[in-house]
Every structure is written in C-alpha cells, then in structure tokens.
Amino acid sequence: MNLISEKNIYLENKETKGFLADAFYKDIGGKLPLVLFVHGYKGYKDWGAWNLMAEKFAEAGFFFVKFNFSHNGTTADDPHNFGDLEAFGHNNYSKELSDLGVVMDHFSKDPRADAEKIILIGHSRGGGISIIKTFEDERINGLITLASVDTLDRFPKGEAFENWKKNGVYYAVNGRTQQEMPHYYQFYEDYEQNVHRFDVERATEMAKAHMLIIHGTEDEAVEVKQAEHLHILHPNSELFLIENANHTFGAKEPWTETDLPEDLNAVTEKCIDFIKEKLK
C-alpha cells in the first residue's frame, strides 16, 4: 500500500497567523491514530530528518502530522528558511499553544484520523509546549517528549536580562545560518502574565496521558537530568535514555541520506512500540 504525503497544507489561526502543516499516512479506509509532532526552538517541520521520521510513522500505521509554528521565522512561501525574523522575534508560548490547538482541531476532524487516539510528540522546547497542551486538553491520550526541557523559564539572567528589558530586544546567533535572530521583550512579558499556565512541572504532574520521555545521554542543549526530573514528576511515565545520543539524535540540517540516523531510528521505533502498546 502506497504512502501518501500531503505537504504544505495551509492552516489559518485567527489568534496568530497562517502556517503550514504536512500529513503522512496510508489510506487503509479506516481511521488511524493521530500523531502530532511539535518542533522546538529554531526548529521547523522540514528540518533535518523529520520527513524520514514521518514516513516511518506512517508506514507503521499512523496519521502523522508535523507543522511550522506560525511565528517560528519561516514563511508559507519559504518553509525551509528563516525568512521572517520579525515574526520570530514576536513569537511566544501563548502563540505556540494556540497554533497547536488549531492543528489538533483541524486534523482531528480528518476522516482518516482517529480523534479518540491523539498522541503528541514534542522535541526540545516543543516538549514543554506538548506537556502543557496535554494537561490542558483531555483529548490527548499519549505524550512523548524527545530531548525535552523541564521548564519554559529559559530566559537571559542577571545583567543580560536587564539589558533585554532596557533595550526591548536581544539577539541569538543561529549557528547554522549565522543569522542574528531577535527576541523581543514581549516574549518574557507573555511568560510572566501566564506563569502558572506555563508551569511545565505542574503540568507534568497533572497530565493524565501515558507519557514516554526520551533523551540522549550526550545532549549538548538540554541536560539529561531534565528528562530524569520529568520522569519523577509523572507517576506513570517511562524514561528511555539513548546512550551517547545528542540533542537531535544524530540528525542535522541538511540531512542528505536516505535513511534515518541510527539514534533517531531507535527513537522512532521506541515511539511506535510505545503507542501501539498503550493505545491498543
């Protein structure tokens, strides 16, 4: 049976702005469990080996969706590059949660997707967003975090914070593209105004969905102890550590090979087994 991929589906979010999503599935004539992949900071849906991961999930019998957050810096005309740094600077957690809600609402109505079986997979910062969404939305049955943060309070500290507040913007250099990516102070203001909502620890404790926590032991961006912390917080979670794996499980941009990197392949297989076991 042939794999179907629908690329760059345009979704409108009246609270933010339009953005793109991809769907991968096999048309079996029935409803497939709906898996939504949530990218992280400086991430996007077509980064690295995410397409190969999506195909593997679809081959395993899932309706797999990945998407670009509306303010991740990419555009509908060019989803592979950070062509709108102004939008990137105006991103915040409220907008990301709103976008994720639009994705859930849209694809849960798709006749090929099973709205009774919804699973979130969040990478890095997307893991924190996915945890909060899982606590807030009881439609979500399964939650998988990949190299997730255990807090969304990841802002500059001390003098750097005071300079941000005074200047209204700070810049982070993208190591791959060398772009100076702006972060406007509204990002922190949004966090402060919603600090209880954005409490990842509390959401992890309260979330009812089955939870799988995956992390590489050599993660250079998010320490493995954050995964161990999430595992302690969620009473029914499973912790799966991949020895010597980095933050992106061996993937990089661009990914020109036809196979998944070994570590990301192990991640994908573990995710598939977990979902099939928990959502029989």
Nearest to 185 by CA among 173, 169, 162: 169
Residues paired with residue 239 on neighbouring β-strands, in sequence order:
213
Would 110 be classed as within a structural domain?
yes
Rounded CA gap, 242 and 267, in Å?
8
Answer for the pair 35, 64: CB distance below 8 angstroms, yes or no: yes
End-to-end CA distance of the chain: 22
pLDDT at position 216 over 80: yes
Rounded CA gap, 140 and 210, in Å?
9
Mean pLDDT for 129-151 is 98
Mean pLDDT for 239-251 is 98
Would 181 be classed as within a structural domain?
no
Question: ω before 254 within 30° of 0 (cis)?
Answer: yes
Confidence class for position 268, pLDDT limits 50, 70, 90: very high
Answer for the pair 30, 67: CB distance below 8 angstroms, yes or no: no
C-alpha separations of 99 from 2, 18, 133 in Å:
30, 9, 11
Mean pLDDT for 79-86 is 97
Residues paired with residue 170 on neighbouring β-strands, in sequence order:
183
Would 221 be classed as within a structural domain?
yes
pLDDT score, position 86: 98
Would 102 be classed as within a structural domain?
yes
pLDDT at position 1 over 80: no
Alpha-carbon torsion, ordered 117, 67, 269, 26, to 10 deg: 70
Would 114 be classed as within a structural domain?
yes
Which is more confident, 41 or 236?
41
pLDDT score, position 280: 82
Mean pLDDT, rounded, of the chain: 97
pLDDT score, position 184: 98
Rounded CA gap, 103 and 67, in Å?
8
pLDDT at position 235 over 90: no
Mean pLDDT for 115-119 is 98
pLDDT score, position 29: 86
Mean pLDDT for 173-184 is 97
- Residue % of the chain over a pLDDT of 70: 100
What is the domain range of residue 217?
Answer: 3-152+199-278
Mean pLDDT for 87-115 is 98
pLDDT at position 264 over 90: yes
Tell me the whole-structure pTM to 2 decimals.
Answer: 0.99
Rounded CA gap, 50 and 140, in Å?
22
pLDDT at position 126 over 90: yes
CATH number assigned to the domain comprising residue 217: 3.40.50.1820
Would 79 be classed as within a structural domain?
yes
Would 174 be classed as within a structural domain?
no
DSSP symbols for 77-107? S-TTS---HHHHHT--HHHHHHHHHHHHHHH
Nearest to 173 by CA among 116, 66, 88, 278: 88
Would 160 be classed as within a structural domain?
no
Say which amino acid occupies 63.
F
Q: How many domains does the chain have?
A: 1
